[in-house]
Amino acid sequence: QVSLVESGGGSVQAGGSLSLACVASGYTDRYYCMAWFRQSPGKEREVVAGIYTRNGDTYYGDFVKGRFTISQDIAKNTLNLQMNSLKPEDTAMYYCAAGRPFAYCSDHFTEPDFGNWGQGTQVTVSS
């Protein structure tokens, strides 16, 4: 089991930037993939970005288009998401997620790949 705590959400104007962080505690070395998801009212949860923790390979949702960067700080057990050029449609609750122990995620980092979730942090982008 791993515990995930997100921080860094807030309100920003369109075109601005925010940086999210997720601190993991527990048996973190058992989890081979981690990701950021988001969900806005009335919509399904979708993957924003994912990372394979062993080699650092990353995956991004199509809507990201080079605006966001996911990274990990292994020494600090922290998963980061740098978001630039934010748009009003990026407004959502953002969740940190860790995969299942000793399991690799699918190519597109889908929800069933993940068994551990943080409580979420709200991101609001105004026009």
11-70 tens-digit pLDDT: 999 999 999 999 999 888 889 999 999 999 999 999 999 999 999 999 999 999 899 999
In terms of Cα–Cα distance, which of 69, 76, 119 is closest to 94?
Answer: 119
Output 10-13 pairs: Cβ under 8 A, ≥24 positions apart. Answer: 10/122, 10/123, 10/124, 11/124, 11/125, 11/126, 12/86, 12/123, 12/124, 12/125, 12/126, 13/125, 13/126, 13/127
H/E element, 33: strand 33-39
Token pair, residue 4, equals 């995930």
Residue-level pLDDT at 96: 98
Could you tell me whether strands 121-126 and 10-13 are parallel, antiparallel, or unpaired per DSSP bridges?
Answer: parallel
Question: Any idea what the Cα angle at residue 113 is, between residues 108 and 115, rounded to 5°?
Answer: 145
Dump pLDDT digits (tens) for 94-119.
Answer: 999 999 999 999 989 999 999 999 99
Helix, strand, or coil (residue 27): coil
Whole-number Å distance between alpha carbons of 43 and 65: 20
What confidence tens digit (pLDDT) does each residue in 60-88 have? 999 998 999 999 999 999 999 999 999 99
